[in-house]
């Protein structure tokens, strides 16, 4: 079975500062990794995903993540955050098998203040 | 891009009544759909896997008689919360991978259920 650990439940940062949201996963097989963002009372929006190939993945809104197989991590980064980035961020994992659901981490609340 | 819709977006009901939530894939077919539940400020917990033409698969601890799932077609899955109680109040989200795809899932916007 797969599992996801998001190491920080809350990350407060100032506007224009860099941010890293940490995610570690556990799996005995190869995985696909995802980062989603959720704004209050809304559904999930895909930020980026890693399927294979280059370990550095670029997503929307200036976010990027790096897949590190040896450390089983998939940390999300942004060099300069905006107030509008305040939201809940979820890391998720799935496997290459049809009919398999995403397994989510507990989420990280990113709070950007001026 | 592909869209998944959910209806209703919000529902308030009295304790003891049943509520049906629809999840539709609007421009693709989905043999499988997933139902998640999200409590305030918590993560998404997988409730069940909905399979077109067959019974749903429920996660451990989820009462299949309380949360009835029907996958009537390749574009529609429904979740019925039977005899709802206040503790069933939650945000319910469905997702669907296009049939045959394993690298992509599309999420619905969610349904906020409040049971009085």
Give per-residue pLDDT as tens, B55-108.
999 999 999 999 999 998 999 999 999 999 999 999 999 999 888 887 888 999
Sequence-distant (6+) residues with CB within 8 A of A107 are A6, A9, A38, A88, A89, A90, B42, B43
Beta bridge partners of A91: A35
Residues of chain A contacting residue B107, judged by C-beta atoms under 8 Å apart: 36, 43-44
Look at residue B24 and tell me whether its pLDDT is greater than 80: yes
Q: In this complex, do B110 and A42 lie within 8 Å of one another by their Cβ atoms?
A: yes
Residues of chain A contacting residue B97, judged by C-beta atoms under 8 Å apart: 98
CA torsion angle for A112, A18, A37, B89 (degrees, to 10)? -40
pLDDT recorded at residue A107: 95
pLDDT recorded at residue A12: 97
Q: In this complex, do A90 and B43 lie within 8 Å of one another by their Cβ atoms?
A: yes
pLDDT digits (tens, 9 = 90+) for B27-52: 999 999 999 999 888 889 999 999 99
Chain B interface mutation, best of A29, A99, A103, highest count of B Cβ atoms under 10 Å: A99
Q: In this complex, do B93 and A101 lie within 8 Å of one another by their Cβ atoms?
A: no
Look at residue A96 and tell me whether its pLDDT is greater than 80: no
pLDDT digits (tens, 9 = 90+) for A54-94: 999 999 999 999 999 999 999 999 999 999 999 999 999 99
pLDDT recorded at residue B1: 64
Beta bridge partners of B38: B44, B91
Alpha carbon A87 to its chain's center: 12
């Amino acid at each position: 079975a797969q599992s996801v650990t998001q190491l920080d439940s809350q990350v407060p940062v100032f506007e224009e500062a860099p941010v890293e949201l940490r995610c570690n996963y556990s799996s005995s097989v190869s995985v696909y990794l995802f980062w989603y963002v959720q704004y209050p009372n809304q559904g999930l929006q895909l930020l980026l995903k890693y399927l294979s190939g280059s370990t550095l993945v670029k997503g929307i809104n200036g976010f990027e993540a790096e897949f590190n197989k040896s450390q089983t991590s998939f940390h999300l980064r942004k060099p300069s955050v905006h107030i509008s980035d305040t939201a809940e961020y979820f890391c998720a994992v799935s496997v290459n098998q049809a009919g398999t659901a995403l397994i989510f981490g507990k989420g990280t609340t990113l709070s950007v203040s001026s | 891009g592909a869209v998944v819709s959910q209806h209703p977006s919000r529902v308030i009901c009295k304790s003891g009544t049943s509520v049906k939530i629809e999840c539709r894939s609007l421009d693709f077919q989905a043999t499988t759909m997933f139902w998640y539940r999200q409590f305030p400020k918590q993560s998404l917990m997988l409730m069940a896997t909905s399979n077109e033409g067959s019974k749903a698969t429920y996660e451990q601890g989820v009462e299949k008689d309380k949360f009835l799932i029907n996958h009537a077609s390749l574009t529609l899955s429904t979740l019925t919360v039977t005899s709802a109680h206040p503790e069933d109040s939650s945000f319910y989200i469905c997702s669907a991978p296009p049939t045959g795809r394993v690298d992509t899932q599309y999420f619905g916007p969610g349904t906020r259920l409040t049971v009085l």
